[in-house]
Amino acid sequence: MIMRYLNRIFSIVWIMTISCLSINVSAKDTTGDDVFAKVKKVHIRSCDRSYEKSVPKIYLGQRLYFEVLDLEKSSKPRTNITITLKTSSNQTAIVKLWVTERIGLFHGTIKTVVLLNGKAPKRSLGLAYGDTVTIQYSYGGNTSQYEIKVHPGANGTVEAFNKRYINFEMAVSTKCMVVESYIELAKKYRLLKRNDLTRSRISSSRKLLEKTIRDYPNNKYNLWTDYLEASLMLEQANDAVDKKEKERFYEKAYARFDQIVKTDPDSDFAPRAQYKKALIFEKREQINEALLCYARLSYHYPNHELLAESFARLGQLFWMHAKRFRKKSLNPKVDEFKAAQYEKIAKEGYMMSAKFFEYHAKRFPKHQLAGKTSVLSGQAYMQAEMFDEAIATFIEAIKKNAGNDKLVSEAMYWLGDSYLKNDDETKAWRILKKLTWEYPSNKWLRPMYIR
C-alpha cells in the first residue's frame, strides 16, 4: 500500500526550473582552431574530479572526467549522451555522460589503465605513455573534438613514512575511517556550539583526506574518498555564515553526491549519497525536491538501513508541506475559494504524513524513532480531521509504547483530545481522568486542566 503513496509523490512533486550554467573554457581541436569559435552551443573539456578545473594532460592510471555542455539536449533526469575516445595507440572507447542539475550539462568518467597486449579491460581505456586522447562528440550532423595528452612518465614522489601498513588497502581504509570520525566529531562540537573545535576537526579531516587521495590514487576506495569529500563540503556549507558561500558549498556537495549516484548506482555509497542529496534540499528549504529524493531512495533501495530514516523524514516533510498550506488557508487576505483549495491541500499533506509515520512505526518497530512516529501519526490524522483514524492510532501507540511513560502520557492526552473533537465527551473524560491517575507528574496535566 505504501508504494501507492510513493507513486503519488512522483505525481504531486515537481522539480523547480534549474538555472542555466555558463562556462568559459578554451580548447583547441586537431586543426589548431578554437573549438568554441566554430561551435557556439557545444563545449567539451576534460576536468579534475570536482569538475572545476580543466585538465589538458593526465598521468597514465588517472581517471578521466569529462564535461559536455550542449544546451539543445534534454535535461530530464537520467538523460545521457555518449562521447567517443580515440587514442594514438589505436584504442577506442565509448563513454556515457549523465545530465547534471544544470541545464544541458553532462558529466562522465572512465578509468585509464596501462595498455597490455593491445587490449584493455571493460569500462576502461588502455593507454601508453605519451599517447594523445581525442574526445569526439557528435550532434546534429556535426562533430566537436578535444585533445588530451598523456605524460610520457609517472608522477611518483619520494616521501618518508611515519606509519607502516601491511598493504595499501589497510592504509586507505584506516585513513578514511579516521576522516569519518573527524566529521562525526565536528557534528558533535557543532551541537555544543564549539565552532572553533568544529572548524578544527573539519580542517584536519580535509588535510588527511587530501593526503590519502594524493598518496593512493586510482584504487577501489575512490568512491569512498569521493563520498567523504562531498560530506566535507556539506559540513563546510553548514558552518558557512555568508549565504553565497553556503549556497556554493551546497551546490558542490550536491553535484558530487549526484555523480556518485549516477556513475555507481549499485555501490554501497549510492543510497547514502542519495540520502545526503535529500538532506541538502532540506537545508535549502526546497521541500518538494527533498520529497522526491527520499522517494527515490525508498523506491530504488527498499532494503537499505537508511530507509527507516527516509520514511521518518518523508512524514516530517509532508507535515511541513501541509503546515505551509494550512497557514495560507488561514490568511484573511486570501479569498474564500483559494483558502478552500489551500485547506484541501493541507489535509492531503497531513494524511500523507500520517501514512508515512504509521508505516515507519509498523515496518521498523525497533528503530529509535518508532515510538515517536506512532504518536506523530495520530497527530497528523488529527490535523487532517480524520479523528476515527487518529483514535485508533493513539490506542495502538499506547499499547506498543507500554513502559515509556513520556510517550504513553502524550498519546493519552491526544487521544482524549481526539475524542473531544469527535464529539465523544464521555470517552474523553475517562481517558483524561486516567491520565491524571496513572501519570500525575507528566507535562500534559497542565494543558489538560486548562481544557
71/211 same-domain check: no
DSSP string across 272-295? HHHHHHHHHHHHTT-HHHHHHHHH
Residues 245-262, mean pLDDT to the nearest whole number: 91
Residue 192 lies in a domain: yes
- Could you give the number of structural domains in the chain? 3
**Nearest Cα to Cα of residue 63 among 260, 241, 222:** 222
CB–CB of 144/136 below 8 Å? yes
Q: What is the pLDDT of residues 170-180, one digit of tens each?
A: 888 888 899 98
pLDDT tops 70 at residue 398: yes
309/450 same-domain check: yes
Inter-axis angle of helices 222-239 and 195-215, nearest 10: 160
Percent of all residues in the chain with a pLDDT value above 70, rounded to a whole number: 85
Give dist(CA 132, CA 207) in Å, integer. Answer: 33
Residue 156 makes CB contacts below 8 A (sequence gap 6+) with none
Question: SS3 for 250?
Answer: helix
Give dist(CA 215, CA 64) in Å, integer. Answer: 18
Instruction: Write the single-letter amino acid at 110.
Output: I
pLDDT band, residue 38 (cuts 50/70/90): very low
Give dist(CA 263, CA 96) in Å, integer. Answer: 9
354/253 same-domain check: no
Q: Which of 128, 150, 172 is the last residue of a domain?
A: 150
Q: Which of 255, 286, 317 is the last residue of a domain?
A: 286
CB–CB of 62/112 below 8 Å? yes
pLDDT tops 90 at residue 402: no
Average pLDDT, rounded, for the chain: 82
Kindly report the CATH number assigned to the domain that includes residue 146.
Answer: 2.60.40.380
Between β-strands 57-58 and 80-87, what pairing exists: parallel, antiparallel or unpaired?
unpaired
Residue 142 lies in a domain: yes
**Which pTM does this prediction carry?**
0.59
pLDDT band, residue 65 (cuts 50/70/90): very high
The pLDDT value given to residue 302: 85
Q: What is the pLDDT of residues 351-362, one digit of tens each?
A: 999 999 998 999
Residue 7 lies in a domain: no
274/334 same-domain check: no
pLDDT band, residue 41 (cuts 50/70/90): low
Give dist(CA 424, CA 413) in Å, integer. Answer: 14
Residues 257-286, mean pLDDT to the nearest whole number: 89
The pLDDT value given to residue 95: 92
pLDDT band, residue 334 (cuts 50/70/90): confident
Residues 237-262, mean pLDDT to the nearest whole number: 89
Residue 259 lies in a domain: yes
Q: Which residues pair with 69 in a beta bridge?
A: 43, 105
Q: What is the pLDDT of residues 406-423, one digit of tens each?
A: 898 888 888 988 998 888
Give dist(CA 180, CA 225) in Å, integer. Answer: 10
Range of the domain at 265: 157-286
